[in-house]
Amino acid sequence: MSPHIARRMEAFSPFYVMELLQRAKQLEAQGKDIIHMEIGEPDYPTPINVLNAGLKHIQTGQIKYTAAAGLPELRKKISSYYQLNYAVDVSPERIFVTPGASGAFLLALGVSLNPGENIIMADPCYPCNSNFVQFFEGKTQFVNVDASTGYQLTANLIEQNWSASSRGVLIASPSNPTGTLISELQLKRSIELVNSLDGCFFSDEIYHGLVYDKKACSALEFSDDVFVINSFSKYFAMTGWRVGWLIVPEHFIDAVERLAQNIFISTSTHSQYAALAAFSKQNLAELNLRTQKFANRRDFLYDNLLRLGFDIAIKPEGAFYIYANCSAFTNDSFQFAKDLLEQEGVAVTPGKDFGKNEANCHIRFAYTASIAKMAAAIERLEKFLCR
């Protein structure tokens, strides 16, 4: 590495899936049909009313900066959504509209994490989350999790791994890549524990809404002293709009405001106006129909992967991923993914993108494709496994 490059970049883990994506594009350019099951992005378009709200604002021509914390009316709508959905009071002053969940992570860790301190996370987990910690010269204290705890941290695991340099804990529920939820009891106990340790609790709730058999709890149901990261990208199907939000404990408001002013100025204005339409009854009803379709896709994919011999210790309860153990076929899931792409044109994400914990015997399948497409993928996969 060039001596000019900042040290924080050295431990920035790459996305291995990018290599597969590039190869997939090459193959597509050669005319080969690729079925994409590696993509963490809903295949549905932006709902029409949201689209129209964005269009309407752009037509004014006045696409100016907003307040750094976001449009006041959007912060109020998000606040009402917490009342409606989780029966919790969240003052709009604690809500910051951000450029996606990415922006929310920048603010949350930017105001709370010092270099050298650590944040406890589950392994497997979404790689960006620990790279944000690395960005601030912190360390991630990975804790291996498995099916016995629903691939989630527990209060006990947190307690065992807490050290003098721990600053906080990050929970993601539903989890990416496993799609599993933390239990209400463990969420509550974990928050209580972290609060008692004077640490920061970060709850990544970006897949809320995409939960199939029960309802996910928000960390805000148990404490006001938590950071909650959420996004319009997944459930609301607004990825490219780049708009999310962060909820912060009261005493962080001033620092978060100053940081947002400086590092963002503001979030895309028309995206915020579009998001204003996302909470209408009509839109939520449409989104819930989509959630039902995602549930059907999950069932389809789950049943078929089991049939083919993958091991899935827990049926995922949310998000749009299945983290399947492929040790019946390989002990190098990255090579497996590369071969699958090359030979059958099916793109999936290798486990090593999500950590080190049994990563080489796992593959993440995203069900962000129709059942028809997934049926074709399963057929190809079956052919691949029979070679």
**Distances from the Cα of 52 to the Cα of 44, 57, 271, 276, angstroms:** 16, 9, 11, 11
114 backbone dihedrals φ, ψ, rounded to 5°:
-95, 155
Distance CA 12, CA 30 (A): 32
| Residue 116 φ/ψ, nearest 5 degrees | 90, -20
Q: Is residue 252 close enough to count as binding a second copy by CB under 8 A?
A: yes
Instruction: Using alpha carbons, list the distances in angstroms from residue 236 to 68, 134, 242, 283.
Output: 22, 29, 12, 9
Asked if residue 264 binds a second copy (CB under 8 A), the reply is yes
Provide the minimum distance between the beta carbon of 259 and a second copy in the complex, in angstroms, as a whole number.
7
In the numeric block, the tokens 């497409």 are attached to 373
Piece of 61-69, 82-90, 189-197, 371-379 that binds a second copy (CB under 8 A): 61-69
Q: Which is nearer to a second copy, 60 or 144 (CB)?
A: 60
The shares of helix, strand and coil residues in the chain, as percent rounded to the nearest 5, are 45, 15, 40
> Which residues does residue 325 pair with via DSSP β-bridges, in sequence order?
311, 362
Q: Does 11 bind a second copy (CB under 8 A)?
A: no
Q: Which of 263, 288, 296, 307 binds a second copy (CB under 8 A)?
A: 263
Binding mask 212-251 for a second copy (x = CB under 8 A): --------------------------xxxxx--------x
* Closest CB 135 distance from a second copy, rounded Å: 6
| The two structure tokens encoding residue 311 | 């091991």
Residue 58 is encoded by which pair of tokens? 């752009």
**Complex with a second copy: residue 100 or 150, whichever CB lies closer:** 100
Segment contacting a second copy by CB under 8 A, of 58-66, 170-178, 300-308, 374-382: 58-66
Residues 340-379 contacting a second copy, CB under 8 A? none
Q: Does 31 bind a second copy (CB under 8 A)?
A: no
Amino acid, single-letter form, for residue 206: I
Shortest Å, Cβ 329 to a second copy? 29
- Looking at 53-61, 152-160, 308-316, 340-348, which segment touches a second copy (CB under 8 A)? 53-61
User: Judged by CB under 8 A, does residue 259 bind a second copy?
Assistant: yes
Can residue 164 be called a binding residue for a second copy (CB under 8 A)?
no
Q: What phi and psi, each to the nearest 5 degrees, are found at residue 347?
A: -100, 125
Close Cβ partners of 166 (under 8 Å, ≥ 6 residues apart): 117, 118, 119, 120, 141, 197, 199
Considering only 83-91, 96-104, 282-290, 379-387, which stretch makes contact with a second copy by CB under 8 A?
96-104
Residues 285-324 that bind a second copy (CB under 8 A): none
Buried b (16+ CB within 10 A) or exposed e, 110-124: bbbbeeebbbbbbbb
Residue 186: count other Cβ atoms within 10 Å of its Cβ.
21
Tell me if 125 contacts a second copy by CB under 8 A: no
Interacting residues with a second copy (CB under 8 A) = 2-9, 12, 14-15, 18, 41, 45-46, 48, 51, 54-55, 58-66, 99-100, 102, 105-106, 110-115, 127-128, 131-132, 135-137, 198, 200, 238-242, 251-252, 255, 258-259, 261-271
